[in-house]
């Protein structure tokens, strides 16, 4: 089995509004938001001037209860200065002694030293029996990586990114741990900062129409047990 190729058991679907999907799925639920402080500070940070674009802000408006965690001291402090409580916890090892209907881990897993341990800890110790773990991350087969490879240019790899993922990686993790990968979405991040970026976005969207696997990011839904993808939640 170790040398067998991974067989993806879900259809790769395109979604135009992943943030809206997460927002709607957390409506009325008990939610754990892992890595909630990401992007809050800095010149273009969410707080205090772009609060309405922040995923955590959107979840807070919809969910029944929310606990937010992160490991970035500066980001946690900045959030606190703007009225938001985010506790310092490492998702690879933490134990909050609480179960959640939805766990959101948005653009976190690529930063982790032990991603399999993190998924196992979240599912085993923090996810309710019929709960869903939602993970978003950059897509390893994104069109810009393909273009840069053809052009023999360096890939855009950040120092704090420890790994690049394909949907098959999450299938392999679920198979190894006995979980179910019930949904796989791909999407492109909307970005309107400049005309050039908008043009690039248009080209990326066009490429992803030709092949969804060329999309810039992906989102997967993981559940504890083998279940039909029609019974996601909720």
Q: What is the pLDDT of residues 2-11, one digit of tens each?
A: 678 999 999 9
Mean pLDDT across the stretch 47-66? 96
| Residue 105: pLDDT band with limits 50, 70, 90 | very high
pLDDT for 27-46, tens place per residue? 999 999 999 999 999 888 99
* Residues 132, 102 contacting (CB under 8 angstroms): yes
Residue 198 inside a domain? The answer is no
* Residues 134, 102 contacting (CB under 8 angstroms): yes
Residue 149 inside a domain? The answer is no
Question: Where do we find the tokens 């959030």?
Answer: 79
Mean pLDDT across the stretch 181-197? 78
**Mean of per-residue pLDDT scores for the chain:** 89
How much is the pLDDT for 142? 79
How much is the pLDDT for 104? 98
Helix residue spans in the chain (DSSP H): 18-25, 55-62, 73-81, 115-126, 143-150, 167-177, 195-210
Residue 207 inside a domain? The answer is no
Residue 69 inside a domain? The answer is yes
CA distance 68 to 76: 10
Residue 153 inside a domain? The answer is no
How much is the pLDDT for 136? 97
75: domain range?
Answer: 12-140+159-192+215-223
* Number of domains composing the chain: 1
CB-based burial, 12-29: b 16+ in 10 Å, e otherwise = eeebeebbebbbebbeeb
Does residue 233 have a pLDDT over 70? no
Residue 205 inside a domain? The answer is no
pTM more than 0.75: yes
| Residue 191: pLDDT band with limits 50, 70, 90 | low
Output the domain CATH number for residue 185: 3.40.50.150
Say whether 164 sits in a helix, a strand or coil.
coil
Q: What is the DSSP letter of 165?
A: B
Residue 121 inside a domain? The answer is yes
Of the listed ranges 70-79, 93-102, 150-159, 161-170, the least confidently predicted one is 150-159
Residue 197 inside a domain? The answer is no
How much is the pLDDT for 231? 47
């Amino acid at each position: 089995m170790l040398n067998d190729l991974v067989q993806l058991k879900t259809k790769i679907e395109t979604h135009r509004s992943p943030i809206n999907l997460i927002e709607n799925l957390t409506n009325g639920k008990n939610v754990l938001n892992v890595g909630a402080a990401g992007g809050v500070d800095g010149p273009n940070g969410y707080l205090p001037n772009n609060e309405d674009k922040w995923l955590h802000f959107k979840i807070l408006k919809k969910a029944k209860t929310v606990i937010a965690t992160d490991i970035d001291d500066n980001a946690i402090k900045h959030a606190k200065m703007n009225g938001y409580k985010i506790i310092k916890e490492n998702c690879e090892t933490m134990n909050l002694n609480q179960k959640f209907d939805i766990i959101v881990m948005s653009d976190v897993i690529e930063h982790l030293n032990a991603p399999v341990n993190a998924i196992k800890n979240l599912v085993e110790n923090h996810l309710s029996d019929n709960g869903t773990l939602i993970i978003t991350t950059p897509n390893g087969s994104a069109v810009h990586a393909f273009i840069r490879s053809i052009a023999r240019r360096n890939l855009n790899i950040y120092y704090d990114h420890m790994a690049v993922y394909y949907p098959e990686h999450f299938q392999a993790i679920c198979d190894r741990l006995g979980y179910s990968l019930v949904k796989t979405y791909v999407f492109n991040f909307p970005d309107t900062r400049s005309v050039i970026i908008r043009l690039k976005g248009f080209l990326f969207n066009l490429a992803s129409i030709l092949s969804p696997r060329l999309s810039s990011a992906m989102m997967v839904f993981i559940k504890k047990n083998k279940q039909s993808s029609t019974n996601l939640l909720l």
